Amino acid sequence: MAIKFGRPIELRDHAPRPVTYDTPSLGLTTRPRRNRKSEWARRLVRENVLTTDDLIWPLFVIDGDNQRAAIASMPGVERLSVDQAVRDAERAMKLDIPCIALFPYTDPSLRDEMGTEACNANNLVCQSVRAIKKEFPDLGVLCDVALDPFTSHGHDGLIQGGKILNDETVAVLVQQALVQAEAGCDIIAPSDMMDGRVGAIREALDDAGFLDVQIMAYAAKYASAFYGPFRDAIGSAKTLTGDKRTYQMDSANSDEALREVELDLAEGADMVMVKPGMPYLDIVRRVKDTFAVPTFAYQVSGEYAMIMAAANNGWIDGDRAIMESLLGFKRAGADGVLTYFAPHAAERIKASR
Ligand SMILES: NCC(=O)CCC(=O)O
Ligand SMILES: [Mg+2]
């Protein structure tokens, strides 16, 4: 049950009882509670607001027709066949969500050591982009650039002798970005954390005439336990060998995030992202204060799963926790949030207007 915000607690919970208290005065000049005395007063002094313009909605796509398959660790999120992804794109349009992000569940038979399918101009992501752009040209479409949905080992890059190869991987990522841009993708979002990939992709996009295709760099992406359910969703959880700590950042570090962001901006990133979200709000704030560029946060699958699990157990008020968590990103300085809660939040925002 949703509790309406701003209803005075005493009216909600108690039948009034006649009591008398002594009324000593503390003689306070400043009483911060005055500005919180009623809903209109709180609205008047409110510093941050979440709007539908702040939302990017990640969708998972699978092969097939008319498929919507539940993901156990992400209750409420489904893998969608391309036709159904188009229906969710329509829902995004109706909810005034400016942009969606696409992630494929690649059939295991198409995964290999090199992530070859990433560069197939007719892969699931490219098919989805074309189908969505055809019906909804005004909806922003973001495509992730990384090899993990396509490799048999679940890593974001090419491996040799147990090591993730940087420059060789970047050459493949450039090809992946080009097929996505060719399909009509608006924002290329490299999430692989290889060094130098933003510059290489920018140059290749420009050479191919995609001057207006934006780059949102996953600039500060941490090696995190919170990606677990996402790996279920794209089917890499079981195949992933080892961890990603030689390319994703150490969660102990903060200055390093600024250096990563600085590099990506110098290489041509139009927007930067911090990921995960809630445990890294301090990074969002530092990035925004330091660079004053469009800054995004990714509220990742594990954050979604935590809130949903607690809400489904009745341990927290899910609606309120969702909106509070999203407002936290705005307060930390984010210009927008990639969140699986996007349609839910947009519905709430629209209903409250
Ligand atoms: N490159 C996209 C992701 O890794 C998403 C992670 C998540 O939602 O857990
Ligand atoms: Mg980097």
SS (H, E, C) 205-236: HHHCCCCCCEEEEEEEEECCHHHHHHHHHHCC
Query: 4, 134, 244, 275: which is the annotated catalytic residue?
Result: 275
Q: How far is the CA of 138 from the centre of ligand 2 (A)?
A: 30
pLDDT-above-70 percentage for the chain: 96
* CA dist., res. 337 & res. 330, Å (int): 8
| Residue in 155, 301, 308, 340 to alter for ligand 1 test, most ligand atoms within 8 A of Cβ | 301
Q: How far is the CA of 250 from the centre of ligand 1 (A)?
A: 16
Which pLDDT value is given to residue 2? 42
Is 144's C-beta closer than 6 angstroms to any atom of ligand 1?
yes
| 117: nearest Cα among 175, 72, 204, 181 | 175
Longest dimension (CA), the chain: 78
Per-range mean pLDDT, top range of 2-11, 15-24, 265-274: 265-274
> C-alpha angle 187/188/189, rounded to 5°?
110
Average pLDDT over residues 332-346: 98
Strands 99-104 and 68-70: unpaired
Active site residue 244: no
Which pLDDT value is given to residue 3? 43
Dihedrals phi, psi of 11, to nearest 5 degrees: -75, -30
Query: Do residues 150 and 111 touch, judged by C-beta distance below 8 A?
Result: yes
- pLDDT band, residue 238 (cuts 50/70/90): confident
Nearest CA to ligand 1 atom 9: 227
Q: How far is the CA of 194 from the centre of ligand 2 (A)?
A: 6
Active site residue 133: no
Average pLDDT over residues 219-242: 92
Is 300's C-beta closer than 6 angstroms to any atom of ligand 1?
yes
| CATH topology (fold) of 49-352 | TIM Barrel (3.20.20)
ipTM: 0.95
Q: Which ligand is nearest to the CA of 199?
A: 2
CB burial class (10 A; 0-12, 13-18, 19+) of residue 62?
Answer: buried
Is 230's C-beta closer than 6 angstroms to any atom of ligand 1?
yes
Which pLDDT value is given to residue 145? 98
Query: Do residues 328 and 278 touch, judged by C-beta distance below 8 A?
Result: yes
Q: What is the pLDDT of residues 175-223, one digit of tens each?
A: 999 999 999 999 999 999 999 999 999 999 999 999 999 999 999 999 9
Average pLDDT over residues 269-273: 98
- pLDDT band, residue 1 (cuts 50/70/90): very low
Average pLDDT over residues 36-47: 98
The yes-or-no verdict on residue 315 having pLDDT over 70 is: yes
Q: How far is the CA of 264 from the centre of ligand 2 (A)?
A: 6
Please give the C-alpha separations between residue 274 and each of 192, 288, 343, in angstroms, as whole numbers: 13, 10, 21
The yes-or-no verdict on residue 148 having pLDDT over 60 is: yes
Atom of ligand 1 nearest to the CA of 338: 8
Cβ-count burial 105-116 (b if 16+ within 10 Å, e if not): bbeeebbeebbe
Is 236's C-beta closer than 6 angstroms to any atom of ligand 1?
no
Atom of ligand 1 nearest to the CA of 304: 8
Q: Is 117 annotated as a binding residue?
A: no
Which pLDDT value is given to residue 22? 83
Question: Which amino acid is present at 223?
Answer: A
